[in-house]
Amino acid sequence: MMKVYTKTGDEGKTSLLSKQRVFKDNVRVDAYGTVDEANAAMGLAKSLITKQWAIDIIQHIQVELISLNADLATEALSISNYRITQEQVVKLENVIDSLEEKRIPQKYFVTPGSCSASAALDLARTIVRRAERCAIKLKRSEEVTTPVLLYLNRLSDLLFVLARCVEQEQLIVTIKSRILSVLQEQAHTSIQKESGSMLMKAKKMIEAAEGKALEIGVPMVIAVVDMGGNLVAQHRMDGSLLASISLSLDKAYTAVALQIPTNEAASVVGPGQTLFGINTTNGGRLVVFGGGFPIVEGGTIIGGFGVSGGSVDEDMIVAKKGLAAGIL
């Protein structure tokens, strides 16, 4: 198995792709070494990015940088054999133009670090700038084609725009997440307040009604519904009738559905009356005898209260006692 270390560079020299041996601080080695450093920084950025479209852009460029490094690591390469051409430069420019259409214009100097991915891209950008300076220095003494220099120049521009697009999308995700979190928290708090307030009121009403039922010696079932007719709480005293379970709930539902006490409903459902026959609708849920009352708070109906288990008069006495406790 071939070892990672070869010891051929122990004297401070390395081999170019074209086989020449040069010192490791040679301007050509410095140029392709810096490009390699930029490629590694782009790899770090790629690992932090979550958007596949951005990952694909970086991946493609990383492959091209290997070809660019091959050009820089070869002495006396003929123009026709250079791997990086004007075609690759134009493709980078097209990508930049496409990204610029997505980017929100910024009229201020950018301070890197808005998010990890954009910070890594900015780091890669600065290394590419240094690689470009190294390549220009190399061109003063040796052959470097114009496309290689242009590629490095456009790449730094691309990384700048890409960093802004990445942090822009991250900002949108963060803002959406925060807004959703706030809305969910507000909704949860609102539900808790509404539910808690109504439930506390229901408990007080049920406790007072049960006390009155015990006083008159009649076991009852007591129910409270919200303004939508949905059950908030129901309490069944020992010994109460099974039928009273549904009747108490239906009385509470009727009171909030018709917005009148159930004993008053009887006078409007008879022949010739305004609500004649309504008690036969809605699956028979509407009850038209006493024991159900709307729960009113601040002039607004917020629910219904229903009691069943005794005579109509007894149900109404107990219901009024519970209703009074809810108003306090």
> What is the average per-residue pLDDT within 284-307?
89
> Domains in the chain, please, with CATH?
13-181 (1.20.1200.10), 217-327 (3.30.450.150)
Q: pLDDT tens-digit profile of 237-258?
A: 999 999 999 999 999 999 998 8
Q: What does pTM read for this prediction?
A: 0.55
The answer, yes or no, to whether residue 275 has pLDDT greater than 70, is no
> What is the average per-residue pLDDT within 3-32?
76
> What is the average per-residue pLDDT within 60-71?
94
Q: pLDDT tens-digit profile of 137-181?
A: 999 988 888 999 999 999 999 999 999 999 988 878 778 878 888
Q: What is the pLDDT of residue 192?
A: 55
The answer, yes or no, to whether residue 11 has pLDDT greater than 80, is no
Average pLDDT in the chain:
86
Q: Nearest-CA neighbor of 244 among 268, 262, 218, 266?
A: 218
Three-class SS state of 301 = strand
Please, are residues 240 and 220 in contact by the beta-carbon 8 Å criterion?
yes
Cα 50 to Cα 115: distance, rounded to the nearest angstrom: 12
